[in-house]
Amino acid sequence: MTTTNTQTEQLTQAGQQIEHDSFAIVDREVGSHAYTEGQWQVVRRMIHATADFEFNGLTEFSEQAVEAGIAAILAGAPIVADVEMICVGLSHPRLAHFGIRAHEFIADEDVIAAAKQVNSTRAVQAMRKAHRLGLLAGGIVAVGNAPTALLEVLRLIETEGVKPALIVGMPVGFVSAAESKDYLSQLDGVPWLITRGRKGGSTLVVAAIHALLSQAETLQTDGNR
């Protein structure tokens, strides 16, 4: 498999070959799906990251979600994550290529103090801090663990008019995880990408964003020819 991408590929030919062979296996074994080419690149990388073919079907996109994510990346939009694990998992060189920074505030002292004072979660207060810093408007919101983070972003959209460029909503778990994603899927005016039900997690969010980064580089390279 050949590619024009240089920034969003594995760093060695051996690594590239393994990844490309893995994608070929997923393509061969997945069976039928109803995703567009851009959507499938996201879902395929999620399956590759987890070896779980159930994400063919569990993953849903709002209209133009992939295109909105690519546009945000090309514009250098910030990424606001609910937990540090997402920021650690994202490739820093790939983000730097687009001038993107990933942010998380869950362990900040002021966030912890605010959560204790009003008896909320750190995830809620972290998203409020991101909003105060002006990072949510026009940014990519990446939620892989905390349903309360996603619910808070939705509250900010509804009550304060915040408009992220894209919400990658994949909180994992048993309390409010499925419900928060169902709520997000009813949202109009803000593009979203979700996994239905209890399944989710940081690994999936990172995979989805890496797939968008790859597509952004392809578009960027083609546009520079």
| Residues that are catalytic | 48
Contact yes or no for 136/80 (Cβ under 8 A): yes
User: Tokens 């062979």 identify what position?
Assistant: 21
Give the torsion through C-alpha atoms of 158, 159, 160, 165, to 10 deg. -10
Contact yes or no for 152/184 (Cβ under 8 A): no
Looking at residue 55, the DSSP 8-state letter turns out to be H
Provide the 10 A C-beta neighbour count for residue 33. 14
Task: Report how far residue 180's alpha carbon sits from residue 152's, in angstroms, rounded to the nearest whole number.
Answer: 10
Task: Report how far residue 57's alpha carbon sits from residue 33's, in angstroms, rounded to the nearest whole number.
Answer: 8
Strand partners, 102: 79
Contacts of residue 68, defined as CB under 8 A and 6 or more positions apart, other chains included, come to 165, 166, 191
